[in-house]
Amino acid sequence: MSKKNVIVAQSGGPTVAINASLAGVVQAVIQSENYNVVYGSIYGILGILENHILNLSEKAEEIPDFIETLKISPSMYLGSCRYKLPDYEDDDATYAFIFNQFKKYDIGAFFYIGGNDSMDTVSKLSHYGEQIGSDIRIIGIPKTIDNDLCITDHTPGYGSAAKYVASSILEVAHDTYIYSVKSVTIVEIMGRDAGWLTAASALARNSYNTAPHLIYFPEVAFDKDQFIADVKEQLSKRNNVIIAVSEGIRDKDGNYFSAAKPASDQFGHAQLSGAGKCLEYFIKEAINVKVRSIELNVLQRCGAHISSLTDIEESFSLGLHAVSCAASGMSKCMLIIKRISDSPYQTAITTADIKGIANEAKSIPRQWINEAGNDVTPDLVNYMAPLITGEPDISYQNGLPVYLPVTHLNTIN
C-alpha cells in the first residue's frame, strides 16, 4: 500500500506558538514511515475549499533552517480564517467538496491547529467522516492565548502571551516608579471571557516589584464602587498603583465595560475593546490623580521575540504527537497536555474526544481568585509560573528578529 499524504491548516487568532505546532507536524511527516507529503491549506479550511494548497515538504527542503525558523515565527505561516462550517444536515455539499479534495490530494490525515471555533470544525468534519465511512483521521491541535479550552491543562500559545504580559507589567512598573507624584496606570489585557492571561500579570511580582496591585477578572462581577474603594486604599499605601484588567470584565448583570459599542463576529463573540479606557474614566471622575491606560493590544499575541521556550517546545511536541496519533489510527480527537507536577514541572501529551471541547470555554476556578475578587491566589501562581520559563534562541539580522517569510500569502504584493 502506498503512503498517504497529510494536510494541515491553522485557524482563529494568532499566537506565537501555533507555527511551532505546524513545525512539529511537518517534521513528523518528513520523518514518518506512514506518510508521504505534508500539504498546507492556506487561510484555514478555506484553502481546501478554494484549492489554495502549499506543498510544505517542498518548502522544508528548499528553505534553509525551515523547521527551526518556523518554530519561533509568530502568527500563522499558512494564514487563518474565521469560517464556520454549516451544519451538514443543512448543507452537505461543502462537506462533500472537502472530502473530495482529501481524495484528490490522497489525504490520510487532516490536522487543524486552532481554538474553540476550530475544534467545532474538527468535530463537524469528524462526524461527517463517520457518516460517510471515511477512514481519514481528523485531529485537532489546540492553540489560544486565552487558555480557555477545556480538558487540556493549558493551551499552547498561552505561556508565551503570559510571558509577554508579565514582562510588560514589570517594564511598565519600572517606567512608573520613577515619579514621586501619585499615579494610577491601568493595563488592559486580552483573554475574552476568561481571566487566565490577565492573571499572568501577577508573575511580574518579584523581590522589589509589587505590581500589579489590583487585578480584575471576567470571572468576578465588576463593581464600580468597590473598584474606586480598592484604588483609594492602594493610593493610601503607595505612590504608583498599577492595575491589570481583562478586556472581558462585566457587571453583575453580565454587561461588558467598554467605551465603545460592542459588535459581534460570526461566532457571536462580542468585539471587546476599551475596558481599560473605561476604568481610566471611572478614576478620573472619582479621584484627583494622574491616570493612564495602556492596551497591550495584538503585541501580546505576536511578540515572538519574547516567547516562552516551554510553550514553544510543548507546541512543537503536540505537532509531532498529532502525526503519530493519526498513524496509530486515532481520529475525532484533540491533543491535550496533562500536568503531572508543578515543581519540577512535568507534563504528558495525550488526546481527548473532541466532544466536550468544541464550543466550550474554561474559566479560572473561583478558588484561584482571592475572596475580594481583585487578585490571584498562590495556587494560580504555581499553575502559571512554569509556563513562561525558558527563552528560545532567536536570531537577529540588522537589529530585527529573523522570522520565516510569508510571501505565499496573497495578501502581500
164-183 residues near a copy of itself, rule: CB under 8 A: 166-168, 170-172, 174-175, 177-180
In order, the DSSP letters of 203-227 are: GG--SS----SEEE-TTS---HHHH
For 49-122, where are the E strands, in sequence order? 53-55, 107-114
Q: Is 201 in the site for a copy of itself (CB under 8 A)?
A: no
Report the residue from 35, 102, 222, 403 that binds a copy of itself according to the rule CB under 8 A.
403
Least distance CB 86 / a copy of itself (angstroms)? 19
Tell me the closest approach of the beta carbon of residue 322 to a copy of itself, in angstroms. 21
Q: Is 306 in the site for a copy of itself (CB under 8 A)?
A: yes
- Which of the stretches 100-108, 331-339, 364-372, 401-409 binds a copy of itself when contact is defined by CB under 8 A? 401-409
Residues that bind a copy of itself (rule: CB under 8 A) add up to a total of 67
Task: Tell the smallest beta-carbon distance from residue 235 to a copy of itself (Å).
Answer: 11
Handedness of CA 291, 297, 300, 306 (dihedral sign): negative
Catalytic residue among 117, 120, 146, 230: 146
Question: Which of the stretches 199-207, 214-222, 248-256, 354-362 binds a copy of itself when contact is defined by CB under 8 A?
Answer: 199-207
Q: Which residue in the set 85, 107, 161, 203 belongs to the binding site for a copy of itself (CB under 8 A)?
A: 203
Cβ neighbourhood burial of 228 (10 Å; 0-12, 13-18, 19+)? middle
How far apart are the C-alpha atoms of 341 and 345, rounded to whole Å? 5
Order of strands, edge to edge, in the sheet holding 240-246?
214-216, 240-246, 183-189, 290-295
Alpha-carbon gap, residue 97 to 83, rounded angstroms: 15
Between CA 188 and CA 176 the distance in angstroms is: 16
Among 28, 29, 220, 304, binds a copy of itself (CB under 8 A): 304
Binder of a copy of itself out of 301, 321, 332, 362 (CB under 8 A): 301
- Residue 381 as a binder of a copy of itself (CB under 8 A): the answer is no
Looking at residues 230 to 259 of the shown chain, list those that interact with a copy of itself (rule: CB under 8 A): 237-240
284 binds a copy of itself (CB under 8 A): no
Concerning whether 146 is annotated as a catalytic residue, the answer is yes
CA distance 152 to 140: 12
Rounded CA-CA distance 261/225 in Å is 22
- Judged by DSSP in three states, 392 sits in coil
User: Should residue 132 be labelled a site residue for a copy of itself when binding is judged by CB under 8 A?
Assistant: no
Asked if 263 interacts with a copy of itself (CB under 8 A), we say no
**In angstroms, what is the minimal distance from the CB of 126 to a copy of itself?**
25
Task: Tell me if residue 372 falls in helix, strand or coil.
Answer: coil
Q: Is 289 in the site for a copy of itself (CB under 8 A)?
A: no
By CB under 8 A, is residue 79 in contact with a copy of itself?
yes
Burial category of 131 from C-beta neighbours within 10 Å (exposed 0-12, middle 13-18, buried 19 and up): exposed
Q: CB pairs under 8 A, 24+ apart, for 204-208?
A: 204/166, 204/167, 204/169, 204/170, 204/173, 206/170
Q: How far is CA 410 from CA 79, 140, 183, 365, in A?
A: 10, 26, 46, 43
- Our CB check for a copy of itself shows the closer of 361 and 394 to be 394
With binding defined as CB under 8 A, does residue 409 bind a copy of itself? Answer: yes
Beta strands in 118-270 (DSSP E): 137-142, 183-189, 214-216, 240-246
Q: Which are the catalytic amino acids?
A: 146
Residues forming the site for a copy of itself (CB under 8 A): 10, 14, 43, 46, 73-76, 79-81, 163, 166-168, 170-172, 174-175, 177-180, 203-204, 206-210, 237-240, 292, 294-295, 297-299, 301-306, 308, 385, 388-391, 396, 398-401, 403, 405-407, 409-413
